Structure 1
Amino acid sequence: MPSSRSSMLNPRRTPPPPVPVNFGRVMRVGTLGWAVALVVVVVLAAVGSIDWYASWVCGVGIVLGLLGTRWARRHPPVDAETPGPSAP
């Protein structure tokens, strides 16, 4: 029976294939989450429970989400079966 150290260093199972993910959808959902957080933060800041600086965090999250959505649209996923530009 192999030791646990040798089995960790030399695994016998192959890793599962990567799961296809729609990055545009992921970015849109994340941006929507930051927008909801911004609304909550603005309400809490208006009541006086928290400081207004917390709204900057949500604003930056929205901006980064929009940039990520733009990136995802410009870089669509590449299918493994579709030959790339370097294929003859």
Structure 2
Amino acid sequence: MDVPSDPSRTKGRFRPTPQLPRSLVNLWPPMILGTVLWFLAFAVLLITGVRGVWLWTTLAGGGLGIVGMGIMLWQRAAARRGSRPTPHGL
């Protein structure tokens, strides 16, 4: 069994869960990369003259990426105001 290193901060037999590394908590880089890739795919399909469902799928993917970024900004602003609970460390 694991023995806690600092028993004064531990409740029960288990240690508290450690904080996630900042690189795993920061969602902006993959969000921006994914949105840019969707718009890049849209531009490639538009230039090559492809019409149909794939053209509109790539446009929708880029648009949803922008909507997702807006939602992330909205949630962070609400967390800073303290108007709604958010997971610890985000």
Aligned mates of 2:25, 2:89 — CA distance in 1:
12
Using the size of structure 1 for normalisation, the TM-score is: 0.54
Deviations 1:11-31 (A, max 9, x none): xxxxx9755322233221111
Deviations 1:31-56 (A, max 9, x none): 10101101111122x2xxx4343210
- Bigger radius of gyration among the two: 1
- Correspondence for 1:60: 60
What 5-or-longer segments of structure 2 have no aligned partner?
1-17, 77-86
Structure 1 residue 74: Cα displacement: 1.8
Distance 1:70-1:31 versus aligned 2 partners, 3 A rule: same
- Correspondence for 1:73: 73
Query: 2:30 matched to 1:26?
Result: yes
What 5-or-longer segments of structure 1 have no aligned partner?
1-15, 81-88
Aligned mates of 2:42, 2:34 — CA distance in 1:
12
Name the one with the larger helix percent: 2
Q: Which structure ranks higher in relative contact order (CA pairs < 8 Å, sequence separation ≥ 6)?
A: 1
Aligned CA-pair RMSD: 2.8
Report which stretch shifted further, 53-62 or 68-77: 68-77
Q: How does 1:43-54 map to 2 (within 5 A)?
A: 43-44=47-48, 46=49, 50-54=50-54
Using the size of structure 2 for normalisation, the TM-score is: 0.53
